[in-house]
Structure 1
Amino acid sequence: MTSISSQLVLHPTVSQSIKLGSTTLGRDKLYRAVQYFARFLAWFFLSRGNKEQAARWNALKSHLALGRKLMRLGKPMEHLQAALRALQVYSAQETGEQITTIGRQLAYFGYLTYDAIVWANAVKFITLKPDTAQKVNKTSNRFWLAGILLSITHGLLKAGRLANEAKKLRSKSGEKDIGTEADRELKQRTLDLARSVTRHQFIIDILDVWIPAANLGLVNFNDGVLGIFGFITSVMALRQQWHIAAKK
């Protein structure tokens, strides 16, 4: 019995889950997945007239959203630092990518800064007038939308550059003076990995962009659709963090 318990408790999957949960980013992605699934379920039950179940899931969604805002209080500075680092690295070939990276990081800095004010007002640490609170929330969503749109633009630019580099590499595969075949294969694998990461982020951005757009009234998607979109992107990001935790 002790042996079975040890095998369960010390199982590599359990250990990896602990590693994932020990990181702020890992917990945030897990909470986000539950939050958006709860949003979907709240809509699902409400659409079928089950107000009691809808209220339960809606309360869970709201509390998780508020808790995630608390976890992100120091994050604006991370994005500001990332913007400054991107500003210091110049590459003529990647000027468009650099500009969109800086713009994206600054947009996320603005989004999370205003989001912190939304949290402070929600927990009654500060008191904003209803119209002021609405303006702050709208500004936060505008920054969020801008950040995702810049991320999409960055992804398109990077995907185009990587595709051109892969094409050039394939065109030189028959030449004998470009290095060893092993060298070329290593470069090809690196490019393939970079393209895969870029596509992964692009899919996340394409789905996530509708959430702030809906919050701003630019599109008319219901909570069920937005909940599923948010859940899918959360699981995608969580899987990425899972693989990172496995390497540690």
Structure 2
Amino acid sequence: MQTLDSTVKWFNKTEGRDKICKVMQYGSRFLMWHLKVNRGNEQLSNQFKNLFQSTRDARKLFRLAKSLNELQTIIDKVGQNCKTPQEQIARGLNILTRIWFLLYWLFDNLSVLSSIKFTTSDPKPLQKKAMTFWFIAIITNLIDTVRQLIVNLQYIQQNKTNQSAQQQINNKQQQNRVLYLNLIKIFGDLMPAGQGSEFFPKVLKINLNDGVIGLGGLISGAVAAYQAY
């Protein structure tokens, strides 16, 4: 267990770098689309396309073995002592979210290893599976985030005249500010995940362009970079 803890801490040192690369990746994707469609500048659009593809591939390599982070979180959550039904629900949703993310990282890792010809598998179906698990993880995380917000807002409403609960109310309000930022990240990530998993084009019959996908990822990456700073 100590070895796993040390490995996870070591991998986490690259987290801030990954968020900056995410901003570059999706910002470049948005500019690639904008310059081609709205400006007609094919040459500059191709330059940003190259930057988008390079940062995308670099991030995939950064994330090799990141599923260990999720495994560590799952182990910690399973051993967590929950005293109330609300805590049990929160733990269950969190564990479920981390399982989906673990599968996302796993297939994402297999996809990039296939892309660089380290393995002989076809990277496209692996990437689609990765994006599908990412989309499911985001939806589960959205449910958990909304649930936390509702619980906090109900507590604040019920105890707003209770002077002895003011410190707890302040804590809930601080938590809500983080949760609102998380919601922005979630809705931003839904754009690339929904398109990559083919949920939007096949289920909702909506085909997002690179501009929408890039803008969604850019917003999510900017919020994540701000939170990691």
- TM-score class, shorter: 0.7 to 0.9
Tell me which residue corresponds to 2:204.
Answer: none
Structure-1 residue corresponding to 2:213: 226
Task: List gaps (5 residues or longer) in structure 1.
Answer: 1-21, 179-183, 243-248
Matches within 5 A, 1:78-97: 78-89=69-80, 90=82, 91-97=84-90
AA aligned to 2:24 is V
Residue deviations 1:142-189 (CA, integer Å, cap 9, x gap)? 11001100110000111111112212321423xxxx4xxxxx432222
- The answer to whether the 8 A contact 2:66-2:105 is kept is yes
Task: Report the counterpart of residue 100 of structure 2 in structure 1.
Answer: 107
**Counterparts of 1:79 and 1:167, CA distance in 2:** 35
User: Residue deviations 1:51-85, cap 9 Å, x none?
Assistant: 22222111111111111111111210111111222
Question: More deviation in 88-97 or 229-238?
Answer: 88-97
In structure 2, give the amino acid aligned to 1:94. Answer: E
Select which of 24, 27, 30 maps to 1:34: 24
* 5+ residue gaps, structure 2: 1-11, 201-206
- Output the CA distance in 1 between the equivalents of 2:135 and 2:78: 22
> Are 2:51 and 1:60 aligned?
yes
- CA distance in 2 between counterparts of 1:172 and 1:50 reads 61
Q: 1:209 aligns with which of 190, 198, 215?
A: 190
AA of the residue aligned to 2:54: H
1:124 maps onto 2:114 in alignment: no
| Cα pair 2:190 2:216 within 8 Å, conserved | no
What's the CA shift for 1:92?
A: 1.6
- Per the alignment, in what secondary structure is the counterpart of residue 198 of structure 2? coil
Amino acid at match of 2:115: A
Amino acid aligned to 1:193: Q
1:236 CA drift (Å): 1.0
Q: 1:193 Cα shift?
A: 0.6
* Residue number in structure 1 paired with 2:171: 190
Consecutive aligned runs of 4 or more in structure 1 exceeding 3 Å deviation: none
TM-score between both structures, scaled by the size of structure 2? 0.85
**Does the alignment pair 1:139 with 2:129?**
yes
Q: Please report the RMSD computed on the Cα atoms of aligned residues, expressed in angstroms.
A: 1.7
Percent identity (aligned): 23
User: 1:61, 1:160 → 2: CA distance?
Assistant: 38
Aligned-partner Cα distance in 2 for 1:73–1:105 = 16
Q: Bigger radius of gyration, 1 or 2?
A: 1
Task: Give the corresponding residue for 1:237.
Answer: 224
Letter in 2 for 1:87: V
Equivalent residue pairs, number: 209
Once the two structures are TM-superposed, the CA of residue 120 in structure 1 deviates from its matched residue by 0.6
Does the 8 Å contact 1:41/1:57 carry over to 2?
yes
Judge conservation of contact 1:96–1:157 (CA < 8 Å) in 2: no
Tell me if structure 2 keeps the 8 A contact 1:148–1:205: yes
Residues of 2 paired with 1:121 and 1:42: CA distance?
26
Deviations 1:90-148 (A, max 9, x none): 242233222211111010100001100111111121122xxx43221111011100110
CA distance in 1, matches of 2:180, 2:77: 21
